[in-house]
Amino acid sequence: MKPTYEPSEIEARWYDVWERSGAFRPEVNPEGEPFSIVIPPPNVTGVLHMGHALNMSIQDAIIRRKRMQGYAALWLPGSDHAGIATQNVVERELAAEGMTRHDIGREAFVDQVWQWKERSGGQITGQIRRMGFSTDWSRERFTLDNGLSRAVREVFVTLYEEGLIYRGYRIINWCPRCHTALSEIEVDHEDVAGELVHIRYPFTEGEGGIVVATTRVETMLGDTGVAVHPDDPRYVDLVGRTVRLPLLDRVIPIVADPAVDPEFGTGAVKVTPAHDPTDFDIAERTGLESIVVIDTEGNITKEGGRFFGMDRLEARESVRHALREEGYVVAIEDHHHSVGHCSRCGTMVEPLLSNQWFVKVGPLVRPAIDAVRSGDSRFVPERWEKSYFHWMENLRDWCISRQLWWGHRIPAWYCDECDDMVVSREDIVECPSCGGSVRAEDDVLDTWFSSALWPFSTLGWPEKTADVARFYPTSVLVTGFDIIYFWVARMLMMGLHFMGEKPFDDIVIHGLVRSADGRKMSKSAGNALDPLELVDQYGADAVRLTLVQSAAPGHDIPLNEEWVDASRRFGNKVWNAARFVVEHNEVRGVPATDGYPEEPGPEDAWILARLAEVTGAYDELLREYRFSDAVGLLYNFAWSEVFDWYIEMAKVGLKDGTRAATTKQTLGVVMRDLLKLLHPIVPFVTEELWSELGDGSLLVSARWPEPPALSGPAGMAELQELVTGLRRFRSEHQIGNVPVDILLEDPAGLAAEWWHGQLHALANATISGDGPPAELVGHTRIHAGGVAAFIPLAGLVDVDAERPRLEKAIAEMNDLADRSRQKLSNPKFRDRAPADVVAKEEAKLEEFEATLLKLRTQLAELG
């Protein structure tokens, strides 16, 4: 076995072995109960970033544990075609050659995207393998592959037939750069400092006019009315009159509508139905017409008169200037408001009137809310349910059509002859009603439409496959809070509607990986850590351990590179501990036995009891998705108890001919169970060490440990306390590692030889006799529970130097005892606190006083 731990060398070795073994497939546990997770599919354009690494490290921890517990565990991988993002990538390639997608045409363009996908799309799967994630590659899916495309079409057509998908001429969010409609949640709102311009619209009859206020003066070109609140006394008499639109001389009416807030601005609103959702609603209610003045490029249309052809921002300046020149501007005040930006490219979105496809979400929402409210699906941590409910209850219809070429084409055809529209599961070549030629719908679907079907489309639906029957609903969904609305909510809606059952039991929400300074990691800010670079430097195990250990439920994770280094050192520590175990087993395979020693020594019994206790607690924490706590517990147990204490104690047993076998067996059992427990978190190093310890593969053959409940023996706490006391004595008196002779009193029922061996090994102390010395003066004593060690000071340390230590200890103990006494003398405490708490407090005080007495005696004994 190599003396040094080299993660990259080990990690290169195992993934292929694992994958070839078939152990990532649920079929390895054919009798097992199904347990399934579908991966949140990364964008096919993507490279693995810290968010993926965290997300998948958690899922792997879950799935590997379940696999070891005998479940038929499926972790299904795949990727998302990511409409806009992927199209943008290929368009940029074209742009480099001075072309646009329109130059080569739709078919050639889509071909080119597919080629790009084949060429570069696999990058992330290689990175997933490098991280050691145990996904079942035989079931890998892509949102645009044939099966999933069929599922998409089936869902679309069914919803259309049910009246839950419709085509409508409505205001949508338009990105003038991506040239497509966006859904509500693809728009990021950002507060900007703007201005509120008050403009006077003169009456057509008589003197004066009405003053409106707007933040977007350029839209006045599309005004077809002015609205006031029906109960506003200032304006109620004006309703029905007409005004003359400045600059364009259009005559428009004043109407009344309750959507107007009398408190805001002047209480009178200019109505631009084609470029504002609220105005659109007002126009529908009051019968105003719509005039489109901004086109899909973000430029002013012919309707804008002399401003025709201007960019919308340029028009804003020009219109304001013109209004001022001509004396229509009454006032301009500063005004902060939020402005929508395309979440893909950051361009300011333009509300635009256009023909789009929508999902009527109303009937889908109720079941999706009820499934969570009833606890059928459960968010972890629970608090996310609140924002989920709030969002769902205020959901508006979902705009699903996108003016892109890369995606699932909407299965609708329009007849050139009779103008009919047909929505169909199968491709249409001629119009079913008149036989005329048809043309296909240009638009494709929102990427999130296909993602919404992921938990069942990936299992083979709409076919009645064995996987659908066996693995739906899935067991756990692990994802970040940032896509609860985009993805989780929609999977719940679609899953419940089409499968009649929730798509997953538990929804585990983790935080964002942030940089060490707490900011969001981003390439542009230059503070993003690349997981693959960290993997090269520290190993995949170290990166995984760091992320999972940091994953406190629902909290963001600031990632410090030093933590990854600390994780690597943990791997090194485990490596060396295992090396110790291996090197002390001249017969390979001995520690591979599951058998517990029949007559364990005190330290063996102690560590086995602790192991049992920790295993139970660890498993419980993992079951509750408290990864940070779970890993913290195991890490500290392994390092502080097994490595720092037990292995040191075991060295005594190994040298003792009568106990060596038992000690080896205990070391073997403890190390084996540690490796198993650690394996879901750090699979590579544990697999490597497993192969050194025994035979076979941990992944393939090891079962999750279920140790018997054991109780620890007496005397171990005393030993540890005594050893620590002796070490502190050395440290405080700076006496290095010179041997110390002690006399031991009351060895807690354990053999004198045992004490001798352990104290010698752990504290370089020899026992020169039993019980207190005849002449106490000139000794100091160290107490550990009922056990006491007396140290002759002569020749060792300056007697007077021991005095301050004792005085300090007495002061501290006095303080503790005082507080305890105070508590106990409070009649209310005795009255109202539970009996066991009072008893515990009394025992504590007793102990304090006893210790105090001993310390005072000691002080006196110094002379």
Partner RNA sequence: GGGCGUUUAGCUCAGUUGGGAGAGCGCUUCCCUUACAAGGAAGAGGUCGGCGGUUCGAGCCCGUCAACGCCCACCA
Q: Hey, which residues between 330 and 349 contact RNA (CB under 7 A)? A: 336-338
Query: Which DSSP string corresponds to 429-461?
Result: SB-TTT--BEEE---EE-HHHHHTTHHHHTTTT
Fill in the DSSP letter of residue 437: B
Cβ 428 vs Cβ 438: under 8 Å:
yes
844 binds RNA (CB under 7 A): yes
Max Cα–Cα distance, the chain, nearest Å: 121
167 binds RNA (CB under 7 A): no
| Min separation Cβ 259 and RNA, Å | 6
User: Under rule CB under 7 A, which residues in 651-670 are in contact with RNA?
Assistant: 651
233 binds RNA (CB under 7 A): no
Structure tokens at 241: 């009159």
Cβ 543 vs Cβ 553: under 8 Å:
no
* Phi, psi values for residue 474, rounded to 5°: -75, 165
Closest to RNA by CB, 89 vs 248, is 248
| Min separation Cβ 206 and RNA, Å | 23
| Min separation Cβ 631 and RNA, Å | 10
> What crossing angle do the helices spanning 660-678 and 627-636 adopt, rounded to 10°?
160
Stretch that binds RNA, among 321-329, 462-470, 570-578, 748-756 (CB under 7 A): 570-578
Could you tell me which of 12, 29, 99 has the C-alpha nearest to residue 65? Answer: 29
Total Cβ atoms within 10 A of residue 403:
16
Cβ 280 vs Cβ 273: under 8 Å:
yes
User: Under rule CB under 7 A, which residues in 519-548 are in contact with RNA?
Assistant: 520
**Which member of 249, 583, 598, 798 binds RNA (CB under 7 A)?**
583
User: Under rule CB under 7 A, which residues in 710-729 are in contact with RNA?
Assistant: 724, 727-728
Instruction: Tell me how far apart the alpha carbons of residues 364 and 461 are, in angstroms, rounded to a whole number.
Output: 19
By CB under 7 A, the count of residues binding RNA is 100
Total Cβ atoms within 10 A of residue 617:
15
| Min separation Cβ 215 and RNA, Å | 4
Closest to RNA by CB, 434 vs 552, is 552
Closest to RNA by CB, 485 vs 684, is 485
| Min separation Cβ 260 and RNA, Å | 4
Q: Which residues lie below 8 Å from residue 500, measured CB to CB, with a gap of 6+? A: none
Cβ 242 vs Cβ 251: under 8 Å:
yes
User: Under rule CB under 7 A, which residues in 382-401 are in contact with RNA?
Assistant: 383, 386-387, 390-391, 394, 396
Residue 439: alpha-carbon gap to chain centroid: 44
Q: Which residues lie below 8 Å from residue 264, measured CB to CB, with a gap of 6+? A: 213
Q: 249-269: buried (b, 16+ CB within 10 Å) or exposed (e) per residue?
A: ebebbbbbbeebeeeebbbbb
Closest to RNA by CB, 108 vs 259, is 259
Closest to RNA by CB, 276 vs 802, is 276
Residue 451: alpha-carbon gap to chain centroid: 18
User: Under rule CB under 7 A, which residues in 473-502 are in contact with RNA?
Assistant: 482, 485
**Which member of 528, 833, 859, 862 binds RNA (CB under 7 A)?**
833
Inter-residue long-range contacts of 415-421, CB under 8 Å, 24+ positions, other chains counted = 421/167
Stretch that binds RNA, among 30-38, 148-156, 367-375, 512-520 (CB under 7 A): 512-520
413 burial level (CB within 10 Å; 0-12, 13-18, 19+)? buried
Interstrand relation of 209-214 and 401-402 (parallel, antiparallel or unpaired): unpaired
Structure tokens at 333: 């005040």
Instruction: Tell me how far apart the alpha carbons of residues 256 and 837 are, in angstroms, rounded to a whole number.
Output: 71
Stretch that binds RNA, among 157-165, 517-525, 611-619, 674-682 (CB under 7 A): 517-525
770 burial level (CB within 10 Å; 0-12, 13-18, 19+)? exposed
Q: Where are the beta strands (DSSP E) in 138-289?
A: 141-142, 165-175, 180-182, 187-202, 209-214, 225-228, 242-245, 250-256, 268-271
Interstrand relation of 329-342 and 180-182 (parallel, antiparallel or unpaired): unpaired
| Min separation Cβ 732 and RNA, Å | 6
Closest to RNA by CB, 415 vs 622, is 622
Cβ 336 vs Cβ 193: under 8 Å:
yes
Closest to RNA by CB, 73 vs 564, is 564
Stretch that binds RNA, among 151-159, 321-329, 459-467, 843-851 (CB under 7 A): 843-851
| Min separation Cβ 521 and RNA, Å | 13
Stretch that binds RNA, among 247-255, 283-291, 320-328, 826-834 (CB under 7 A): 826-834
Closest to RNA by CB, 97 vs 191, is 191
Residue 476: alpha-carbon gap to chain centroid: 13
| Min separation Cβ 606 and RNA, Å | 16
**Which member of 816, 852, 859, 862 binds RNA (CB under 7 A)?**
816
User: Under rule CB under 7 A, which residues in 618-637 are in contact with RNA?
Assistant: 624, 626, 628-629, 632, 636
| Min separation Cβ 97 and RNA, Å | 36
563 binds RNA (CB under 7 A): yes
| Min separation Cβ 643 and RNA, Å | 4
588 binds RNA (CB under 7 A): no
| Min separation Cβ 734 and RNA, Å | 6
508 binds RNA (CB under 7 A): no
Cβ 560 vs Cβ 66: under 8 Å:
no
Structure tokens at 550: 């940091």
User: Under rule CB under 7 A, which residues in 244-303 are in contact with RNA?
Assistant: 259-262, 264-265, 267-270, 276-278, 281
Structure tokens at 37: 């997770």
**Which member of 238, 647, 722, 744 binds RNA (CB under 7 A)?**
647
Closest to RNA by CB, 20 vs 390, is 390
Closest to RNA by CB, 66 vs 216, is 216
Q: Which residues lie below 8 Å from residue 12, measured CB to CB, with a gap of 6+? A: none
User: Under rule CB under 7 A, which residues in 741-800 are in contact with RNA?
Assistant: none
**Which member of 110, 152, 364, 577 binds RNA (CB under 7 A)?**
577
| Min separation Cβ 598 and RNA, Å | 26
| Min separation Cβ 366 and RNA, Å | 19
185 binds RNA (CB under 7 A): yes
Question: Please, what sign has the CA dihedral across residues 512, 517, 519, 524?
Answer: negative
215 binds RNA (CB under 7 A): yes
**Which member of 8, 138, 355, 731 binds RNA (CB under 7 A)?**
731
* Phi, psi values for residue 465, rounded to 5°: -85, 160
| Min separation Cβ 525 and RNA, Å | 12
Closest to RNA by CB, 594 vs 624, is 624
Stretch that binds RNA, among 72-80, 402-410, 471-479, 734-742 (CB under 7 A): 734-742
Stretch that binds RNA, among 10-18, 452-460, 514-522, 854-862 (CB under 7 A): 514-522
579 binds RNA (CB under 7 A): yes
User: Under rule CB under 7 A, which residues in 424-483 are in contact with RNA?
Assistant: 482
* Phi, psi values for residue 145, rounded to 5°: -75, 170
Stretch that binds RNA, among 85-93, 245-253, 446-454, 816-824 (CB under 7 A): 816-824
Total Cβ atoms within 10 A of residue 567:
27
379 binds RNA (CB under 7 A): no
853 binds RNA (CB under 7 A): no
3 binds RNA (CB under 7 A): yes
Residue type at 356?
Q
Closest to RNA by CB, 517 vs 800, is 517
Instruction: Tell me how far apart the alpha carbons of residues 854 and 263 are, in angstroms, rounded to a whole number.
Output: 79
Q: 591-610: buried (b, 16+ CB within 10 Å) or exposed (e) per residue?
A: beeeebbeebbbbbbbbbbb
